[in-house]
Amino acid sequence: MIAQNLPLMRRFTIVLLLVLSSRVLGAGVRPNIVFVISDDQRFDALGAAGNEKIHTPNLDRMCAEGAYFRQSTVVVPQCSPVRASLLTGLVPHQNGWLSNQYHRPEVDGKHGLKGPFLPQLLSDGGYHTVLVGKWHLQIEPWESGFAEVRTWMPAGGGPYQGAKLAQGNSRKTTENPGMTNLVFEEDAEGFLKSAAAKEKPFFMWLALTAPHVPWTPNPPEIIKLYEGKTSDELLPKNFPTDIPHHDFLHYYEATSLADAITGRIKRTIKDAGLAENTVLVFLGDNGFMMGQKGVGAKGAGGKVVPYEASARTPLMIEGAGVSLKGTTDACVSSIDLPPTFLSLAGMKVPEHFVGRDLTPLLRGEAGAEKAFEEAFVEFADDQSKEFGDKAYRQIRTETHKLIVWVKPDKKPELYDVVKDPLEDHNLYGNEDVKAVQDDLSNRLSDWLKRTKDETFKWPR
Ligand SMILES: [Ca+2]
């Protein structure tokens, strides 16, 4: 406490110094967290990933000024289950929300999914929790701990203009004439500029629908970026030129829209005077195959599979307290974000959360990357008609991945993701990679034991 008998100016100076020093040292200051989720953005739909044909200047700047996790994978490459995993801190085989199509009966329905949920924990810990954008879950946002539900989309997708959107604590939707992602942006910026953003630390979950199909229409300044280009001219590095592929022109437009929005969100954070105490996180919720390995050359089904373009997505973190700048090869996962957010908020991480706290990495602590030598991916829905036969578990390191299919008659797959980025050569069973295979197999088995995966046995 500051002594009451000090002259007023002196007391004021001491208070000012205390505030300043706590901000500089990060001690006791709990940062705001702005979490932007893009939809179906593959890892290489990003300039910083070596794609010279796409325009993502704002995300590229995040990769340079913040921490860019270029090896990052999502724990399940599909929209709804990855969101459920972010809410619960648990992977699908633990929380039961296995896919868009199938949830275990005991967790199905509006009140099925069990907490404690990340927003609830943050809210209980003194954070103001705000949702804007795509939701794609059956549980109500306000029942999972969002104190302020702004403009949101209960469904998993919709048109880029004239989408049916809800407002506040109701699922009732009305057609919004605006461009969907710009409506979300404006609403998110409305919050950032509001007095509420300065009252106490906040957590904002901003989920865009870009670049999920239908990819158009887009604003004129976005269309202009690719004027005169054709989809064939826009294939990313390594993409095979001799296979049917989806429409890269409009996929890139939609990705550039997500990029432009993220850039403006960042500027709004700055203009609102929040930059000094805000962490900005950008995550792609899953990738999109665009035709690779015969998956997703048409329509909306380019994900779920365990391959790089589906399971590997952009992840960048920058802002208050993040001293790690530039690219890291740490094998982090989307499931590491719930514990990381709680840790940033100075809160205890529940023991049952299976992700790892990224904050030692973000602070640039020596040796922190040792805890990130591997990441796990799964598609645990072995029940649905649409995807049931595609269920798998996967372990991925910086150099290799092992995929084990739930169906016992499907041969496991082992790839050297550095030498064989398109995963064309299955090395499983080759004598010269036996040591790698055994090591990955043991680590996968340990993970399944640790996460009590009762529905899948490995080795078998
Ligand atoms: Ca998605």
Cα 301 to averaged position of ligand 1 atoms, centre (Å): 10
**Predicted local confidence at residue 28, as pLDDT:** 63
**Predicted local confidence at residue 14, as pLDDT:** 44
- With pLDDT > 90 as the criterion, what percentage of the chain qualifies? 92
CA-nearest of 141, 180, 157 to 261 is: 180
Cα 29 to averaged position of ligand 1 atoms, centre (Å): 33
Distance CA 190, CA 184 (A): 10
DSSP string, 192-216: HHSTHHHHS-EEEEEE--TTSTT--
Cα 232 to averaged position of ligand 1 atoms, centre (Å): 24
Cα 279-24-355 angle, rounded to 5 deg: 35
DSSP string, 355-409: S---HHHHTT-TTGGGGGS-EEEEE---S-TTTGGG-EEEEE-SSEEEEEESSTT
Mean pLDDT over 160-184 rounds to 98
**From edge to edge, which strands make up the β-sheet containing 32-38?**
173-175, 164-167, 148-153, 128-134, 202-207, 32-38, 278-284, 315-319, 67-69, 326-328
User: Residue 233 in contact with residue 53, Cβ under 8 Å?
Assistant: yes
User: Residue 263 in contact with residue 17, Cβ under 8 Å?
Assistant: no
Q: Which residues pair with 148 in a beta bridge?
A: 130
Mean pLDDT over 378-382 rounds to 97
Cα 85 to averaged position of ligand 1 atoms, centre (Å): 13
Cα 41 to averaged position of ligand 1 atoms, centre (Å): 8
**Predicted local confidence at residue 339, as pLDDT:** 98
Cα 212 to averaged position of ligand 1 atoms, centre (Å): 6
Distance CA 125, CA 425 (A): 49
pTM of the predicted model, to two decimals?
0.94
Cα 104 to averaged position of ligand 1 atoms, centre (Å): 21
Distance CA 65, CA 455 (A): 42
Contacts (Cβ under 8 Å, ≥6 apart) of 419: none
Residue-wise pLDDT tens digits, 223-261 = 999 999 999 999 999 999 999 999 999 999 999 999 999
The neighbour count for residue 326, using CB atoms within 10 Å, is 12
- Is residue 25 very low, low, confident or very high in pLDDT (cuts 50, 70, 90)? very low
Residue-wise pLDDT tens digits, 44-90 = 999 999 999 999 999 999 999 999 999 999 999 999 999 999 999 99
Cα 157 to averaged position of ligand 1 atoms, centre (Å): 9
Cα 274 to averaged position of ligand 1 atoms, centre (Å): 29
Distance CA 145, CA 129 (A): 7
Work out the burial of residue 26: count CB atoms within 10 Å of its CB; fewer than 13 is exposed, 13-18 middle, 19 or more buried: middle
